[in-house]
Amino acid sequence: MSCLSRFTIHFRRPEKLKQNKNKPYQGEYGFDWLREEYIYPIDTVVYQDAGYYKEIKSEPKALLIKDPVKFLQEYNRGVEDPITPYGQDYYPAWLSIFAYGVQGNANATIHKEGVYLNLQLDEIDDIKDDGTELIFKASKPCLKIIPVKIPISEFIATPKKIVNWVITVQRLIIMN
């Protein structure tokens, strides 16, 4: 048995956006993640998309997705090596951001200050402050991540185990 704590980290958009004076998120960047209410009967369902919206009769709590298996396959489409940390399925969040300060039509001022995200820690084991740090490494040289290290103690100190994080695209590199 390992002495490492078992947990997963999930990227989420914040309720309010720092770069826009704490106003609610209104689609400023493309972001999607698998919400539990999509695949588990958590919410009350009143409407269902069937090409048009119509009222449906359902139990007080129902699935928001008609075919969860097909839906989960879509979340893994294009993922070369899906991971299952600790035997649990992991569905990565999708994030679309644009470069700032580049020449031509690739430039976008909408993300001048980067994209602020929340990181949510989901415990598999009880997490203790044992000095563990999360270290982030950008997959491309054009991405800048702040901060690059977050101690596990920052998650423990918040009731929902969520911390703030920012990612920016510094420059766009086009490879032929």
In whole angstroms, give the CA distance from residue 73 to residue 52.
24
Residue, of 126 and 98, whose pLDDT is higher: 126
Residue 123 belongs to a domain: yes
Residue, of 111 and 162, whose pLDDT is higher: 162
In whole angstroms, give the CA distance from residue 50 to residue 114.
37
Res. 46: pLDDT tops 70: no
Residue 158 belongs to a domain: yes
Residue 128 belongs to a domain: yes
- Which one-letter DSSP state was computed for residue 165? E
Residue 113 belongs to a domain: yes
| 72-106 pLDDT, tens digit each | 888 788 878 888 888 888 887 777 777 777 777 76
Average pLDDT over residues 119-124: 85
Q: Residue 32 in contact with residue 98, Cβ under 8 Å?
A: no
Residue 39 belongs to a domain: no
Give the chain's mean pLDDT.
73
Give residue 144's domain range: 7-33+93-169
Residue 16 belongs to a domain: yes
Residue 109 belongs to a domain: yes
Domains held by the chain: number = 1
The helix or strand, by DSSP H or E, that contains position 75, with its residue range, turns out to be helix 68-75
Q: What is the pLDDT of residue 167?
A: 61
Q: What is the pLDDT of residue 47?
A: 54
In order, the DSSP letters of 2-60 are -SSPPEEEEEE--SEEGGGTTEEP-SSSEEE---HHHHSS-S---EEESSSEEE----S
This model's pTM is above 0.85: no
Average pLDDT over residues 12-20: 66
